Structure 1
Amino acid sequence: MPECVAVITEHALLPVVPGREGEFEAAMQRAAPLVAASPGFVRLSVTRGVESPSTYLLVVEWERLEDHTEGFRRSAAYEDWRALLHEFYDPFPVVEHFAPVLDVRA
């Protein structure tokens, strides 16, 4: 059985200005490789709200909290990420980090 690797999960609900969803999705396509190239990056997913289609869920998995908070957030890549995406949010999203407690899969 493969060893379970503990990761830190970054979670943010992204409230996109209504009517700009298509622009946001295109910008996210350009921005995703910036975070994916960061040391400690594991996985990124973006999903769109069914009941609230202007709200997106960003989930990024990191090897360590510091890979996000000190590595990516202090990098030139983050400045490019910010330039591509931050204009779409209203209000600005809250970003939180989570550590694993339980993971049940089929």
Structure 2
Amino acid sequence: MITMINPIRVTGDAGRFEKVVDQIMGHMAGRPGFVALRFFRSAENPERYCMVAEWDSMKDHEDAVDAMTDEVKALFLELRELTEVAPDFYTLLHTRAQGDWTPGGAPAVL
């Protein structure tokens, strides 16, 4: 699995930004290999968002990008005008959840 983590600062209209993201995610969520998306807005800095998208593989994400229609490409161009973004891709090293952590203990590896 590959995870895209994208911190976003909205410099334009936040309502329009959220609508554009929703339309783009409608395309991406329907693509093979898409797992999940979590979309956050800062409680203290309302112009800051974070998007976390999980894919089965980097290839699946690249294929979804390659399959974008002209309409979706135009939405991405609009998104660039509304935001400052810094996406990057990550692989999970380990995770902990409530109840499975002990001080000094080894991390729970997936």
Q: TM-score, normalised by structure 2?
A: 0.75
Question: In the alignment, which of 24, 37, 44 is matched to residue 44 of structure 1?
Answer: 37
| Greater radius of gyration (CA) | 2
Q: Which runs of 5+ in 2 are unaligned?
A: 99-110
Task: Report what 1:35 is aligned to.
Answer: 28
Task: Report what 2:11 is aligned to.
Answer: 17
Q: CA RMSD in A?
A: 1.8
CA shift digits 1:43-74 (9 cap, x unpaired): 01110012221111011000011211x21222
Corresponding residue pairs, total? 96
Task: Report what 1:95 is aligned to.
Answer: 87
CA shift digits 1:9-56 (9 cap, x unpaired): 1011111115x1111112222222111011110001110012221111
Q: Which amino acid aligns with 2:97?
A: R
Give the direction of change, closer, same or farther, for the CA distance of 1:105–1:61 in structure 2 (3 Å limit): same
Task: Report what 1:4 is aligned to.
Answer: none
Alignment of 1:48-67 (within 5 A): 48-67=41-60
Q: Which amino acid aligns with 2:48?
A: T
Q: TM-score, normalised by structure 1?
A: 0.77
Q: Which runs of 5+ in 1 are unaligned?
A: 1-6
Identity of aligned residues (%): 25
